[in-house]
Structure 1
Amino acid sequence: MSTPQTPLPQAAPPAREAGAAAPYAGYTSPIPVVRTHLGHALASEWTKIRSVRSTMWTLGVFVLLVVGIGLLTGAIVANSGSDLSGDDDPLALGFFGVLLGSIAVITLGVLTTASEYGTGLIRTTATACPARGRFLVAKALIFFLVSFTVTLVSTVLVAVLQTAMLEGTSARQPTGGEWFKATVGVSLYIALLGLFSLLIGSVLRHSAGGITVMIGAVLAPLVIALFMATSSLEKVRTALFEYSIPNQLGVFYSSSLSDSGPSGWDPLWIMIGAVVVAFAGSWLLLEKRDV
């Protein structure tokens, strides 16, 4: 029969000094903890878009095309000896540079979202901002403001210089409404077109694919319409001409490709509708997909 063992005495815990606080009681982190909001996401997206080289290159090419082609066109017309008619809007000469420059804005829009999936940065973005809709809104706002500002400065500069070049010709002076549409109106349309590209990049999550789709959306309707020579396809061809992006952009310069179709500010409302639909689809997919 075994005898019960007496438990060994345990050392008493060290006594705390009088007034000493319990472990971890009243601990204050040296890192300030604040509730995040949209302003933090905006600051993050602003840091991103101004830090990457693609922004400098694409917007630099955009300004070069808009200003360079605009001034070259104005100089050729002013020195050609064939004056513009009194009904022609001299601001319409800025159309060519803006149309080519829109490709650069489209490219930047797609890269703003799609490139994060290619590099894996989207995982960091989603971790820092779990509310995915918030950083999508922040991307959209920052991109829209940047592209609108750059386009506005470029179009105003070109419009002023072209008007000065053609001052001695028979070209009439643009009205206030024409100035507003050729500067602010065009800038809003280009910024919305770039924003639509940003959302397409978020949906496709592939830079090359998104750029290809958007360039096709700009050029394909006109190319397809050129080969619709049969009378049975006349209505389709007319619709492709009227609602193509180049024609809608030309409406702001009073140089539409057709006598019917969108006019006034209609192209802006059409693009806003397209952006709203693309934003809703991008938001839903962003919430359901894994990053």
Structure 2
Amino acid sequence: MTAPQHPQPPAPQAPAFAPEAPQWTGGYLSPIPVRKATLADALASEWTKIRSLRSTMWTLGVMVVLVFGIGCAIAAAATTVDNNGSERDMSALSFGVFGVLLGVICVITLGVLTITSEFGTGMIRTTLTACPNRARVLTAKAIVFFLLVFTITLVSTTLVGMVAESMLQGQWTDRTTGEMWLRATVGVSLFVALIGLLALAVGTLVRHSAGAITAMLGLMLLPLVMSMFMYASALSEIKKYLIQYSIPYELFVLFASGSDGPDSSGPMGWDPVWIMMGVVAVAMGGAYAALMKRDA
């Protein structure tokens, strides 16, 4: 008598997805597809950072209030002045310069904080771990910051110009041309955004918020302050040079009537934009070199 035969269980079959399943190699295996990071990824990251910071909202919000509020207030005050039929040697667009001068301080502050806040909190280590290409990180910060400041300044200066011209009702608008509109809006916006990039470069070099902001404010105001104490005739040329190439004077040049500046011997027309481009190129070159060589 033979023992009963028990049926053998079928051999287990591999699931259909087994040939494509990832193999365990002893480390962490991410289920997310891995690809090489690009500049677009860095731009998206920096945009997320800058729009989520409270400092961005406050500094740019105060800037808009200063540019628009002061420009419109001075234009409104000008409407009460009786010109007795005389021709004004300025345009309605010129009233925007007073608000922009104060708004530049907000741009400088935000430009510095864009990079120094990460050095202060140690977040820069996380940023450079996620994106080891340091040049790409600084490039993304510069592009996002430049476009943001340029857009906000362009909208603010355009609104101030429109409101000022409507308030003055032709008293100052006889000299307003398309070239003046372009310089007082696009030119000024480029100039202010470039100052912000210079602040970003200084912040990268100094890596300290208070120190970088102080350095930028000194760069903006020190030439004018020094010129006030140059009474000697031997220093007249130096005094004139310091005034003509100071940031406030160059802003006045962009708002000035015609192609000439307040002093035809100095920068005029679009010269302030080209000068600032050269300065920013040198400063950003130093910022790239410092970020590549120094530890985070």
TM-score (norm 2): 0.88
Cα offset, 1:151, TM superposition: 0.1
The residue number in structure 1 matching 2:22 is: 27
Cα offset, 1:173, TM superposition: 4.8
Which of residues 162, 165, 171 is equivalent to 2:164? 162
Amino acid across the alignment from 2:34: V
Cα offset, 1:126, TM superposition: 0.6
Structure 1 pair 51–177 and aligned structure 2 pair: CA distance change class (3 A): same
* 2:245 paired with 1:243: yes
Cα offset, 1:171, TM superposition: 4.6
CA distance, structure 2, for counterparts of residue 168 and residue 91 of structure 1: 12
The residue number in structure 2 matching 1:270 is: 275
Amino acid across the alignment from 2:295: D
Correspondence 1:7-156 to 2 at 5 A:
20=14, 26-27=21-22, 29-82=30-83, 85-156=87-158
CA distance, structure 1, for counterparts of residue 20 and residue 155 of structure 2: 58
Cα offset, 1:79, TM superposition: 1.4
Cα offset, 1:25, TM superposition: 8.2
Amino acid across the alignment from 2:282: V
The residue number in structure 1 matching 2:5 is: none
Structure 1 pair 24–287 and aligned structure 2 pair: CA distance change class (3 A): farther
CA distance, structure 1, for counterparts of residue 80 and residue 191 of structure 2: 31
| 1:106 and 1:211 in contact (8 A); partners too | yes
Which of residues 253, 258, 266 is equivalent to 1:261? 266
CA distance, structure 2, for counterparts of residue 250 and residue 224 of structure 1: 19
Amino acid across the alignment from 2:145: F
CA distance, structure 2, for counterparts of residue 169 and residue 238 of structure 1: 32
Taking only aligned residues, the RMSD between alpha carbons, in angstroms, comes to 1.9
Structure 1 pair 208–180 and aligned structure 2 pair: CA distance change class (3 A): same
The residue number in structure 1 matching 2:191 is: 189
Amino acid across the alignment from 2:265: S
The residue number in structure 1 matching 2:26 is: none
TM-score (norm 1): 0.89
The residue number in structure 1 matching 2:8 is: none
The residue number in structure 1 matching 2:3 is: none
Q: Extract unaligned runs of 5+ from structure 2.
A: 1-10, 24-29
| 1:102 and 1:190 in contact (8 A); partners too | yes
CA distance, structure 1, for counterparts of residue 209 and residue 271 of structure 2: 30
| 2:91 and 2:172 in contact (8 A); partners too | no
Cα offset, 1:81, TM superposition: 2.2
Cα deviation per residue 1:49-71 (whole Å; 9 max; x = unaligned)? 00000000000010000001000
CA distance, structure 1, for counterparts of residue 198 and residue 57 of structure 2: 20
CA distance, structure 1, for counterparts of residue 256 and residue 226 of structure 2: 24
CA distance, structure 1, for counterparts of residue 210 and residue 222 of structure 2: 17
| 2:165 and 2:172 in contact (8 A); partners too | no
The residue number in structure 2 matching 1:4 is: none
More moved, 262-271 vs 45-54: 262-271
CA distance, structure 2, for counterparts of residue 158 and residue 151 of structure 1: 11
The residue number in structure 1 matching 2:228 is: 226
Structure 1 pair 170–33 and aligned structure 2 pair: CA distance change class (3 A): closer
| 2:112 and 2:209 in contact (8 A); partners too | yes
Amino acid across the alignment from 1:126: L
Cα deviation per residue 1:7-66 (whole Å; 9 max; x = unaligned)? xxxxxxxxxx66559x99841742111111000000000000000000000000100000
CA distance, structure 1, for counterparts of residue 250 and residue 240 of structure 2: 13
CA distance, structure 2, for counterparts of residue 35 and residue 94 of structure 1: 46
CA distance, structure 2, for counterparts of residue 90 and residue 156 of structure 1: 12
More moved, 107-116 vs 249-258: 249-258
- Percent identity of paired positions between Structure 1 and Structure 2: 53
CA distance, structure 2, for counterparts of residue 80 and residue 173 of structure 1: 18
| 2:165 and 2:173 in contact (8 A); partners too | no
| 2:150 and 2:189 in contact (8 A); partners too | yes
Cα deviation per residue 1:221-251 (whole Å; 9 max; x = unaligned)? 0010011010011111010011001111111
Cα deviation per residue 1:154-202 (whole Å; 9 max; x = unaligned)? 0000000000011153652510000000000000000000111011101
